[in-house]
Chains A and B, each alone.
Chain A
Amino acid sequence: MQNALQLAWLVPFFPLLGFLITGLFRRQLSKTMIAIVGNAVVFASLLVSVWIFVQVKDGNSYVAEYFNFISAGSLKIPFALQIDALSSLFLLIVTGVSFIIHFYSVFYMKEESREHYGRFFSYMNLFVFSMLLLVMGANFVIMFIGWEGVGLCSYLLIGYWFKNKEYNKAADKAFIMNRIGDLGFLIAMFWILSKTGSFDFAVVFSKASALSTTDVTIITLLLFIGATGKSAQIPLYTWLPDAMAGPTPVSALIHAATMVTAGVYMIARSNVLYSLAPLSQYIIAIVGLATAILAATVALKQNDIKKVLAYSTVSQLGYMFLGLGVGAYSAGVFHVMTHAFFKALLFLAAGSVIHAMSGEQDIRKMGGLRGKLKTTYFTFLVGCIAISGIPPFSGFFSKDAILLSTYEHNKILYVIAIFGTLLTAFYMFRLLFLTFNGNFRGTDEQHHHLHESKAGITLPLIVLAILSFVGGFADIPEIFGKGGNRLTEFLAPVIPLSHGASVSHSTEMMLMFIPAVLVLLVIVYAWYRFKNYRPSEEKGLGKILENKWYVDEFYDKIFVKPLYQLGSFLNKTFERSVVDGLVNGVGKLVNYGSRQIRLLQSGQIGSYILLMVLSMLFVFIIQFFLRK
């Protein structure tokens, strides 16, 4: 009997359909129709995802093969979708958060003209399609299609307002930096193929133990390079803050909740390989933690509301990679889920603030919005509490799971990670206090215009706030009673359970609550520091942080400028002399040759006949001598 899960193709199919309809008929359909179609397709795939999740929860897992995608010699790459615990969880996250954000966009983007409205929704649907393909692919090739697709959509949506040159540059930057990572991914894929002869996850992972340590280490490191590009880790993270040029729902969906977690998904999916390569794990943990701290320090001094959130995203992604690096794959995935909720919430709330402020994004010019934007303030507060890791909000549990595994692994990393969470709490509450507390620092016109957003915008905020609150209970630690660690157990078929916590319950309790108390102290300090905020010039370290450690300038000097110089050098010398010389030379040769050959055409019949006879003789002679 055919497995019902064969219908899994419907999940990515609906958004693809939506992409085609909203994209092709954007000039014909009304804005209402576009909004309905754009939302309905995502909702349909959400429903199918829920159904799949329930099936998987009952213990089913399935690889749905549809057709032969590529077949060359002994290599067969089927178009196959993987349905198991990990992918079904990601399906839920992606379709769920996407639907909420699509719904929000209907109202957030309503000022756009009809054509651009359709363009926006078609890109968004295409993104959802690619992301679903990424998480459902049953081999590295299908995953790579999705991987490239989300990169493309990210590029398209960052440059959505394409008339602004700066935005286009930000889009280019994102695309190019992603490509650097993608190259690593591609090489890793070819390496895998040459060593195992297959791209299928099942085959590759079953053959993994037979590979040499060198091979596994190189493959995992190359895959990690791919992840650093997509998930904005050192050294390829600088594109993500610039990507805030896109509309706010895009930042929420792509650059906070879903696409940037693709690297985490990929590593969690390949956990079999990573468990065989301790060196790679160590590097991932170090890079993740370094990114977390670096981005957190930068976020301390940013003044653009979306930039703070962007650096916070980079920092949280660093924590996810720290979790992956210390072998806590399910904790990393858990943090992906909670982060998707509260970071989407924070971004959407920021969008609501930006709307209320008539497009102003500088928090130095905000302040005191609490009175006018009650719902936004409240939901933003929930997001801040969740990301800071205060119990019992979701961020607490997921971050705690990562930190606990780090503690078991390496005490020094643990201390640094705790320091990072304190930074997180500080910059998030700085953002909150500067935006919503104190006195209003904008213009009178803006003050007059201040208003709470419509229900269409606040409703998604409320839903996400609830999710941010309860999301953590999906995987509460065992010590809080029976029925804990449900998510970890759910993921067990894909991510093998680790060998049980090596710390005692009392230690675990202590490790949980000391950071929580410290975080509360930091929040109080932030309140004390920012309750009467006055914008002032930054000096010393503050200035360095405000300028993001000058990393962009550094990259510009080291990579971008030399490349431009090389380009202009090649343009001036190589292009002029060699390429032009070659092309013009061919032209001149033909010209000269034809002028000489033209002399043969004399018009004299006698000479024609003579030539004819001579050439026939020539042919006969050749034939005579060449005869065997």
Chain B
Amino acid sequence: MPINYYIFLSLTLFTIGIVGILIRRNAIIVFMCIEIMLNAVNLLLVAFSKMHHLQGAAAMPTAGTDGQIFVFFIMVVAAAEVTVGLAIIVMMFRNIHSIDINFLNRLKH
């Protein structure tokens, strides 16, 4: 498959993520949108990695593999972030009985 398809899919996912963050107020939805954006990036990384591997495998067997390794790191970081983020959301619900992010305006003070 041409690389273009991957790029379009990834862009679409990323845009959905950004728009979701901008228009939704539910903290969990916002969180999911962030995950969608991360995965859009992962998808792109893997796609390019595969492409470079196919092009350069003859000269060097490991060509393009670093992109895939990078994806694993992103996944690990994303998982860690999710645990922290979810914990924050739980704390937030306990305190104000809501997970609407527009209530989170105390950063101003």
Contact = CB atoms under 8 A, between A and B. Distances in A.
Interface stretch (B52-60, B65-73, B97-105): B97-105
A605 B22 CA distance: 9
Interface in A187-242: none
B104 A605 contact: yes
A603 B106 contact: yes
B105 A610 contact: no
A36 interface: no
B18 interface: yes
| Size category, A interface | under 10
Interface of A is mostly: helix
B18 A606 contact: no
Interface string A422-447: 00000000000000000000000000
Interface in B3-54: 18, 21-22, 25
A622 interface: no
Nearest to B108: A603
Interface string A591-628: 00000000001111110011001000000000000000
Contact of A603 (B18, B21, B22, B105): B105
B22 A609 contact: yes
A604 B22 contact: no
A429 B107 CA distance: 94
A613 B18 CA distance: 8
Given A610-B22, A613-B18, A613-B22, A605 B108 contact: no
A604 B18 contact: no
Contacts of B107: 603, 605
Contacts of B18: 613
Contacts of B101: 605-606
| Size category, B interface | 10 to 19
A606 B22 contact: yes
Candidate in B18, B106, B109 with the most chain A CB atoms within 10 angstroms:
B18
A67 to B, nearest CB: 59
A606 B108 contact: no
Contacts of B22: 606, 609-610, 613
Interface string A77-101: 0000000000000000000000000
A610 B109 CA distance: 20
B109 to A, nearest CB: 8
Nearest to B19: A613
A602 to B, nearest CB: 7
Contacts of A613: 18, 21-22
Contacts of B104: 605
A604 to B, nearest CB: 6
Contacts of B108: 601-603
A604 B100 CA distance: 11
B106 to A, nearest CB: 7
Contacts of B106: 603
A603 B107 CA distance: 5
Interface in A341-383: none
Contacts of B25: 606
Contacts of A602: 105, 108
A164 to B, nearest CB: 63
A92 B7 CA distance: 94
Contact of B102 (A601, A606, A610): A606
A103 to B, nearest CB: 79
Nearest to A610: B22
B89 to A, nearest CB: 13
Contacts of B105: 602-605
Contacts of A604: 102, 105
Given A602-B108, A603-B105, A603-B106, 18 more contacts: A601-B108, A602-B105, A603-B107, A603-B108, A603-B109, A604-B102, A604-B105, A605-B101, A605-B105, A605-B107, A606-B22, A606-B25, A606-B101, A606-B102, A609-B21, A610-B22, A613-B18, A613-B22
16 contacts: A601-B108, A602-B105, A602-B108, A603-B106, A603-B108, A603-B109, A604-B105, A605-B102, A605-B105, A605-B107, A606-B22, A606-B102, A609-B21, A609-B22, A613-B18, A613-B22
Nearest 8 CB-CB pairs, A to B? A603-B108, A603-B105, A605-B101, A605-B104, A603-B107, A609-B21, A604-B105, A610-B22
